[in-house]
Structure 1
């Protein structure tokens, strides 16, 4: 696992982590925000990332300083490692969209459940659909609604000190990692297009989201997969592109649900 320092003013730091690309899993980025003596992990990933991520984090802060483990949504590449974090970090809170609170226990097992020193419900703090603001050290993390992009209950995170938007699957590409910035947005579109057409729910959701985040002073957008977008100009290019993109339900028609060929291949019992 590699670490990439995205911001460091001596007191406040933002670090991204990435695993080498492997054929069997989608490459993903994990994130750490530190402000003084408190830290938060964003989208810590699956079980395979737990040990290497832990080793990397201890290079920047003590594990005792981690106040929050934060999940943007329910996917396994976001939170499958959740039980291990809760076992090893006894006083850490898990922030997760409220919609997914009752689903997270399915990542647990009898083995890990027996090793939790507190009930899971005591460790969870649900993020409301409308988002929220969470204190970290001398600053705050803003949780921003990003529903249906792609998860039906999805939250992004904005750091007002570094002006970094941790955008989850929005802006994702399956090339590179967060240690690499996009140099030319137009040539980068091809790396994002198929992903966004399939994973983003609709143009309406993309457009409303773009209108919302334009209000923020964003100097960097860092998705959970692929390269980061650095600088306001390239961020605006992305917003101009995504707000016009047809995707998700915009692209389906009757043919999407056509089962005639499947019926022809199946021995249908006469009724």
Structure 2
């Protein structure tokens, strides 16, 4: 099932939240369409490919897919790369660090001339005449990591930042308000996830400061429910900027030999 997050006469943002069933972690896929041209964000792997293709067709012609954006290199992000390259003329946008890793998901030669390496500072991408911003999110959690900001809908598609562990139906929920954010953070595993997966307080704070300088109305992560409204976004950034995570939390006890039996 798809959910339209934003729509006007020329522009749409669509979320797919319930395509993964069974053993795989819940993951959201997003589609931005402008003037009939599309960008697919973090399409996932074999668990999502067929259903995502069918769902996209309800909103635009898949033959008009210009880009597949991969926030980082994980299999739940872009393991289906070969399929999209096979059936469309789209190019894959991925961090420069991962351009030579991506072919491991693909048939030999499939990626030739079809991959755009995103430089560390990010870049602008034109979709149907409209520019979208690709902004840095390095070490959150991958060393080469990016998010997409859509200036029309004012949605920041935030990859693993903001991830919350809920079902596919639960991921369609929209969290609004400071109190609702605090309650959801406590109930949906956000603290544990971010403390384990993020790259430390320094990068969390730098990312939050960058986002405060953007006109963000909605944060839509790759896993779980999204966070809408200026109040909610501010509450999220205040929490995230102060988060101890990753290397902040390890010490000598985490590196020992022999391992337990």
Q: TM-score, normalised by structure 2?
A: 0.94
Q: 2:175 aligns with which of 158, 177, 182?
A: 182
Per the alignment, residue 199 of structure 2 pairs with: 201
User: Which deviates further from its counterpart, 142-151 or 182-191?
Assistant: 182-191
Q: Is the 8 A contact 2:204 2:241 kept in 1?
A: yes
For 2:222 and 2:151, the matched residues in 1 are separated by 19
* CA distances 1:196-216 after superposition (whole Å, capped 9, x unpaired): 000001011100100111101
Q: 1:246 aligns with which of 235, 244, 247?
A: 244
Cα shift at 1:165: 0.1
* CA distances 1:113-155 after superposition (whole Å, capped 9, x unpaired): 4xx6xx5130011110110000011311100000000111100
Q: Is the 8 A contact 1:178 1:223 kept in 2?
A: no
Aligned to 2:158, what secondary structure does the other structure show?
strand
Per the alignment, residue 268 of structure 1 pairs with: none
* CA distances 1:51-84 after superposition (whole Å, capped 9, x unpaired): 0000000000001211111111000000000001
CA RMSD of aligned residues (A): 1.4
Per the alignment, residue 170 of structure 1 pairs with: 161
Per the alignment, residue 68 of structure 2 pairs with: 69
For 2:63 and 2:259, the matched residues in 1 are separated by 58
Q: Is the 8 A contact 1:131 1:143 kept in 2?
A: yes
Unaligned runs of 5+ in 1: 266-271
For 2:258 and 2:139, the matched residues in 1 are separated by 30
Aligned to 1:152, what secondary structure does the other structure show?
coil
For 2:183 and 2:6, the matched residues in 1 are separated by 26
Cα shift at 1:19: 2.2
Per the alignment, residue 98 of structure 2 pairs with: 100
For 1:203 and 1:148, the matched residues in 2 are separated by 11
Quick one: structure 1 residues 63 and 21, their matched pair in 2 at CA, closer, same or farther if it must change by over 3 Å? Answer: closer
For 2:124 and 2:86, the matched residues in 1 are separated by 26
* CA distances 1:32-51 after superposition (whole Å, capped 9, x unpaired): 00011211101000112110
For 2:10 and 2:26, the matched residues in 1 are separated by 30
Aligned to 2:38, what secondary structure does the other structure show?
strand
Aligned to 1:206, what secondary structure does the other structure show?
helix
* CA distances 1:92-121 after superposition (whole Å, capped 9, x unpaired): 11111111000011112xxx44xx6xx513
Please identify runs of 4+ aligned residues in structure 1 that moved more than 6 A: none
* CA distances 1:236-271 after superposition (whole Å, capped 9, x unpaired): 000000111111111001110122564xx5xxxxxx
Are residue 152 (structure 1) and residue 143 (structure 2) matched? yes
Q: TM-score, normalised by structure 1?
A: 0.90
Per the alignment, residue 47 of structure 1 pairs with: 46
Which has the higher Rg, Structure 1 or Structure 2? 1
User: Which deviates further from its counterpart, 14-23 or 211-220?
Assistant: 14-23
Cα shift at 1:21: 5.7
